[in-house]
Amino acid sequence: MSLAHPDAERIAQQYLSSLNAEIVARCGYGKEGVVFKSSRGTAVKVHSSSITFQNEYLAYRRLAETRTQVVLGFRVPRPIQANAGLKIIEMGIVEPPYLLDFGTSATDIKPDFSPEVWEEWWGRVQENFEDRFPIAEAVYIHLKRKLNIWHLDLRPSNLRFVDDEVHL
């Protein structure tokens, strides 16, 4: 279980029980939360903070409002419903290639980072994607220009190509 949210499984099951559903498996975890696959065939993300819940909720709401299901060839999960009290977002499950995890994103308000912070951030993105960096950069720019979303957690586990291997 993620150290970020030790009660995540209990909270996810509480949410799913109200829908006559249950947890099937844990799909992933990180500092922003834990994701479970449900018997409804959906993913349920339990956020570790109200801030990451709100960030992700706003981004998924924007994606839904604009009917955005694919960003430059990368599928994005379809939001199904959210529960602010439990800090849960239920969404569809996508297969690679995909773009996930908007928990540290910013919607409508550009992050107030110094030029040095932006330079360091872009350096990490370039290091993470190597020869695929131009694609990651294009996805970021598309989200920013077309949807006013700054996706600040661009890394291979969140922007996954169809031929990427998964290392959990």
SS3 166: coil
Residue among 60, 49, 59, 139 nearest 107 (CA): 59
pLDDT tens by residue, 44-82: 999 999 999 999 999 999 999 999 999 999 999 999 999
Which pairs count as long-range contacts for 124-132, CB under 8 Å and 24+ apart, including other chains? Answer: 125/154, 125/155, 128/154, 128/155, 128/156, 129/154, 129/156, 129/159, 132/161
Q: Domain coordinates of the chain in residue numbers?
A: 8-160
| Topology given in CATH for the domain delimited by 8-160 | Phosphorylase Kinase; domain 1 (3.30.200)
Q: How far apart are CA 97 and CA 4, in angstroms?
A: 27
pLDDT given at position 165: 55
> Which segments in the chain show pLDDT lower than 70?
1-5, 164-168
pLDDT given at position 160: 95
pTM (two decimals):
0.89
- Residues 6 or more apart whose CB falls under 8 angstroms from that of 124 comprise none
